[in-house]
Structure 1
Amino acid sequence: MAENTLATHNTGLTAFSNFRRNKGFDALWPPPANHVIDFIASLSLHDYSFATARSYVAAISYYCKLHVQTDPTNKFVVSKLLEGMRRLNKTRDKRLPITATLLHDLMSNLTPVCSSAFEAAMFRAAFSVAFHAFLRIGELTNTKTTVSLHIDDVQMKSHRVILRIAQSKTDQYGKGTKIMLNATCKSTCPVLSMKSYLQLRPNFPGAAFCHFDGRPLTRYQFSAVLKKVLAILCYPPNRNTSHSFRIGAATYAASIGLDDNTIKTAGRWKSGAFRTYIRSPLTQI
């Protein structure tokens, strides 16, 4: 199980355990259906989102199946309760896309917020690649224990950069995916920005995007610099996040007429969820 999924399941099981203890319910496994039904009702009354409730119920289901127990979450009433939550608390994703114009402005205004020319070149390349490769922030940045994009996973050609994404949200078994980015005539060209960055990057092993002392670029640092540049440009920092690059890539692809299958493949989506990423002018108000 992916680390993030495991953490979410543990959170859900803890919430369910606390709920049953507070209600005076016995900690039976498999839990009676009425325990799950009351749990969902409680989540709704406390204004939890449908997505959170669904993930918590999925945790209960997984735990039962793991221990070869009857799964009470398969009950018709459970599915209808979750459907009711989905209908009641529909919330529109208010995150805005990074547009092609905004990407240019971001990459052009990094110098004032970066401590050196090297740092500006690194973030310029990171921003460009995040957009053009439809990357999730976890595929680009690193944690204390893992390196998402290794320097050995980057191949530079004369007019192309090839990235190997070793593992991602939709690639739990680590088969890996190759992404090819071609050079463009635009100032935001991912090939040009990567070449400029790699010419300055010290010869350290490990993370492809790293600081001059070899420390890997983290999610927090990526988001912090993004917010600083957005502030300079007077853009709303809370509506443009690290995920806005992926949203922007899908929106831009749709705007230039790429078909659904091409967008789905480019973003490595396994379902029709990519459609929720495509913003129309009305959704950006």
Structure 2
Amino acid sequence: MRTWPKLDSTLRKRSRGTSPVRVIARPAVSDGEADLLRSAKTSTESVAALPTVATAMPASSATGIIQPKSAQTSLTGVPRNHDTLLHRFALEQLGDDEEVVACYLPQFMRGMGWREFEQVSYSRTARYTETDEPLPRPSSHEFSNASAMRTILENPELFQVPQVIRVDRLEALLGRHPNQLFVRSVLTGLREGFWPWIDTHYDSGYPSTWDNSWAPPPSERERDFIASAGGPRAMITSTIPSRQPVREAWTHERFERELAVALNASIDISSAHTYGSALNSWIEFCRINKFSTEPTEKTLAYFVVYRSTHINPNSVDSYLSGICNQLEAVFPQVRAMRRSVLVSRALKGCKRIHGQPVRRKNPLTLGHLRKAIDSLHSMPTHDDLLFLAILLSGFHALHRLGEMTMPDNPRLRNPRKYTKRESVTLNAESYEYWLPAHKADIAFEGNRIIIADQAALKYFLLYLNSRDRLLPFNPYLWARENGQVPPRAWFIKRLKHLFPDPNIAGQSLRAGGATHLAEDGALPHIIQAAGRWSSEAFQVYLRKHPMVLHALLRAGGSGIRPSSSS
């Protein structure tokens, strides 16, 4: 009696010690089947010298010992279309009528194991391995490349073959595979690495190696990266342990898009519009006079003297700032050129030659505010209350008109700057609201506005009641009857109708509030903080002559309030 060799000796030992072994008895064989067995034995002698072999089949649902039904099917009803080397060799092993067969299939081989004595219905991939040619190996001239071989031997850590397959165990399982040349090529690839199916024969003049590390970085971005890293091979390590949250990596396109958005938001929309106008002026100047648009100290000086003959030299100074902002990304030295001695002296000389007296609008006074209150109709509309509330709040809080209205140009409007209704706080003698942004607040940090004037509080409450009744779902504090944030032109039109004086304009509110604080004896730094000025530019808003302010302060607040600036 002869038994089949087991696939796994470890499993065989465990089966003997823990569970009974199923025995498959070979049924009787007819005369025709005996002839078939003798024919199979003769045909396999020339293709295999192994004592036994396992038949390949993806055993997706079989575990442990093969069921007897499968064995009987293999012996008595073998399909003719499965006449393969494995099947013939399996039949050759069944020569004795009294043979007892015990087969084990490891659990980890489900669906891909070579099962002994099983109906031949395995996958195409398994069948192809019987006839596939061995996997390719490197050409002989590759081993004669002394430079490449020396690199591999000196740097074994760079040429490791990481894999999780236990090659020795796989080799033992494939010991009975009929195509051993193919098996050995696969095992060699798993141990040493697979060679791509390519011909690497080169001409005699082709170099064996090519070192491209000396080449300079192709772009400025890569040069900056290498410089910031301390060199091409510098490594930055941290000695402080930290837990970094898992974040999604960005694509290069997203980096470029986000950078463009950030650069575009570096200046305010209105400032960008003004700077764009200055750049257009520069381009037109270069086109007319046949100059290159690339700035130099001489062409910037030419621009100063040319434009100063057409507009105020102070405006030319602002134009230069806009040109520098727009061209700095392309020509980084433009600001240094702007500050050069040649350009600075040219601008200073033009201011001396073409200088004009400064014309500033008159500030509003308490008399103007009383006139506005007295002119209010006995049955005011919502827009009438809105205008008066803006006028009083702008005067006492030193508001810029743009902080309470929206620009006339739709392209310059930014809803983030609009004051919200929910930020209002009412007190017994004052009212407050949050100003989200202003000209000097580039980071949208905001400011808390507090107004303690009783007249302003009275008419602000009247406006707020009307607004909440008509526009309960409008999010903005300042809103017209139609729900729109009041445009600047709407307020200026009403202001001109109330005060026909051409020297009264939008900045008169801010100038009037600053002058009023100075008349009351407020210190300069208090005025600067109240008006949210980032520099001492607030001094130009004090429209009282210093001697007049000095006389008022010495009088000790006698109540003298001239109705117009001195």
TM above 0.5: yes
Taking the aligned partners of 2:473 and 2:359, their CA distance within structure 1 comes to 39
* 1:205 is the counterpart of 2:468: no
Give the 3 Å change call, closer, same or farther, for CA 227–81 of structure 1 in structure 2: same
Matches within 5 A, 1:110-121: 110-111=376-377, 116-121=380-385
Give the partner amino acid of 2:424. V
Equivalent residue for 2:414, pick from 136, 146, 171 = 146
Q: Distance in 1 between matches of 2:304 and 2:498?
A: 41
Aligned counterpart, 1:227: 496
Equivalent in the alignment of 2:374: 108
Structure 2 CA distance, aligned partners of 1:62 and 1:94?
A: 28
8 Å CA contact 1:183–1:190 kept in 2: the answer is yes
From 149, 156, 163, give the equivalent of 2:433: 163
Q: Does 1:23 align with 2:275?
A: no
1:61-118 deviation line (CA, Å, top 9, x unaligned): 2234323521221211211222233444142233000001111112321439xx9532
Instruction: Name the structure 2 match of 1:66.
Output: 329
RMSD over aligned CA atoms reads 2.1
Percent identity over the alignment?
Answer: 23
Q: Which has the higher contact order (CA 8 A, sep 6+)?
A: 1
Say which of 124, 127, 139 aligns to 2:388. 124
User: 1:279: Cα distance to partner?
Assistant: 1.0
Gaps of 5+ in 2: 1-266, 549-563
Which amino acid counterpart does residue 213 of structure 1 have in structure 2? Answer: N
For residue 177 of structure 1, the aligned residue among 443, 447, 450 is 447
Amino acid at match of 1:279: R
Q: Contact (CA 8 Å) 1:107, 1:127: kept in 2 or not?
A: no
Partner-residue secondary structure (3-state), 1:104: helix
TM-score, normalised with respect to structure 1: 0.88
* Counterpart-to-counterpart distance in 2, 1:219 and 1:110: 20
- Aligned partner of 1:245 in structure 2 is 509
Q: Secondary structure at 2:373's aligned position in 1?
A: helix
1:79 to 344, 356, 376: 344
- What are the Cα deviations for residues 215-234 of structure 1, in whole angstroms up to 9, with x where unaligned? 22111111100111113xxx
Q: Give yes or no for contact 2:429–2:457 (8 Å, CA) kept in 1.
A: yes
Q: How many residues align?
A: 271
Shift of 1:181: 1.0
Alignment TM-score, normalising by the size of structure 2: 0.46
Provide the C-alpha distance between the structure 2 equivalents of 1:69 and 1:122, rounded to a whole number of angstroms.
48
**Residues 251-270 of structure 1: matches in 2 within 5 Å?**
251-270=515-534
Q: Deviations over 1:145-184 (max 9, x none)?
A: 4342222232222222112111110001101011111143
Name 1:278's counterpart in structure 2.
Answer: 542
Secondary structure of 1:178 counterpart? strand
Inter-partner Cα distance in structure 2 for 1:171 and 1:84: 34
Partner Cα separation in structure 2 for residue 82 and residue 154 of structure 1 = 47
Write the letter of the residue equivalent to 1:217: P
Does structure 1 residue 93 correspond to structure 2 residue 359? yes
Kept in 2: contact 1:164–1:179 (CA 8 A) = yes
Comparing 55-64 with 165-174, which one deviates more in the overlay? Answer: 55-64
> Structure 1 residues 284 and 158, CA, compared in 2 at 3 Å: closer, same or farther?
closer
The secondary structure found in structure 2 opposite 1:4 is helix
Structure 1 residues 168 and 85: alpha-carbon distance in aligned structure 2, compared to 1, 3 A threshold:
farther
What CA distance in whole angstroms lies between the structure 2 residues aligned with 1:271 and 1:163?
24
* DSSP-derived class of the 2:510 partner: helix
The question of whether the paired residues in 2 share the 8 Å contact of 1:110 and 1:229 is answered with no
* Deviation, structure 1 residue 256: 1.1
* Aligned counterparts of 1:35 and 1:68: Cα–Cα separation in 2: 14
The one-letter code matched in structure 1 to 2:491 is F
Q: Is the 8 A contact 1:103 1:128 kept in 2?
A: yes
Number of the residue aligned with 1:6: 272
Q: Which residue of 2 aligns with 1:214?
A: 483
Larger of the two Rg values belongs to structure: 2
Matched residue SS, 2:451:
strand
Asked if the contact 1:60/1:73 (under 8 Å) is kept, the reply is: no
Q: Give how far 1:207 is off.
A: 2.5
Choose between structure 1 and 2: higher helix proportion: 1
| Native 8 Å contact 1:64 1:70 kept in 2 | no
Read off the aligned partner of 1:142 and give its amino acid letter.
M
Give the CA deviation at 1:50: 2.8
Secondary structure of 1:180's aligned partner: strand
Aligned-partner Cα distance in 2 for 1:79–1:136: 31
Cross-structure match for 2:315: 52
Q: Greater shift after overlay, 213-222 or 202-211?
A: 202-211
One-letter code aligned to 1:94:
R
Contact 2:480 2:486 in 1 (8 A): yes
User: Which stretches of structure 1, 4 residues or longer, exceed 4 Å deviation after superposition?
Assistant: none
- Describe the superposition over 1:181-222 as per-residue Cα deviations: whole angstroms up to 9, x where unpaired: 1143xxxx2211111111111213233121223122111111
